[in-house]
Amino acid sequence: MESLSNVDVSDEEEEITADIVLKTLQTAWQNECLAPEILPHNNDMVECMLGQIQHMERNINKLPKTDIRASIHKMELSRIKFIICNYLRTRLNKIEKYCISILNDERQRMETGTNYLTVGEFKYAQEYLLNMETHLKNVVLDKMPGNMKTLEMNKMAVYPNLQTHVFLKANSTISGVVLEDLVGDQDEEIDLEEGSQHILQYKPIADLVKNGKVQLV
């Protein structure tokens, strides 16, 4: 919300903040595309950017059609729009794929107020799961004999693979990231220097991605 109010303060500041908003959005998009699980939403940034787009579109429309500035700005706008659409779409794809596990986790997170999904996304996920359930029930489950009728959600659930490896870049110096040793019991501790790049398992650095200390590349 902070950035939203910043933008409205004065016209001079607007350009700098709009730039930061775009950068944040780009990072969020990049992280979302590369992370195996769903990340906390960035709805404030998206809405702020949408506001900016609207504002810029109005300005462009004032320019004559043949003005070169108009086409350059339009091109830039369509790029930003693509980023927003792709970001939201990536999230939707994850929500659909990991629907059951995301909804279960989200219900716990909602109690602590640290929800990852926006209200709209949560509604979408619930509706999606409900539709899937009704469909499966109508087509086959209801026609099955006695004790086979129930849909076992746990057996159907797809979980994101947190053990996968990701490329990442440290935004600040972080010391003491614990890498679990799955086979033996020799846990390893490493330090990430600012600006350094690594290939690591996603799970130990998941929290660092969420609070922006590292960035996936």
Partner 1 sequence: MFAEKVIELLKESERNPDTIDPFKDEKIRQILEEMQTLFIMNMNDANATTENKSLWTTVQVRHSALERNKRCLLAYLYSRMEKIKTLRWEFGSVLPPDVRELLSDDEYEWFSRYSTNLASYMRSLGQDIGYSGIDLTENLRPPKALYMEVVCTTDYGKLELSDGDVVMLRRNSRHFLPAAECQTLVRQGVLKQIV
Chain residues binding partner 1 by CB under 8 A are 46-47, 50-51, 54, 65, 71, 74-75, 78-79, 81-82, 84-86, 88-89, 92, 96, 120-121, 123-124, 127-128, 131-132, 134-136, 138-140, 143-146, 148, 151, 155-156
Bridge partners (DSSP) of residue 192 are 174
H helix and E strand count, the chain? 8, 5
Residue 121 and residue 1: Cα distance in Å, rounded? 19
Answer yes or no: are the C-beta atoms of 158 and 190 closer than 8 Å: no
Longest CA pairwise span in the chain (Å): 71
CA 181 to chain centre: 28
Residue 42 and residue 24: Cα distance in Å, rounded? 9
Residue 21 and residue 7: Cα distance in Å, rounded? 10
Tell me the pairing of strands 214-216 and 165-170.
antiparallel
* 16 versus 50: smaller Cβ distance to partner 1: 50
Q: 191: which 2 tokens?
A: 């330090």
Q: Which residues, including other chains, have CB under 8 Å from residue 79's CB and lie 6 or more apart?
A: none
Residue 50 and residue 47: Cα distance in Å, rounded? 5
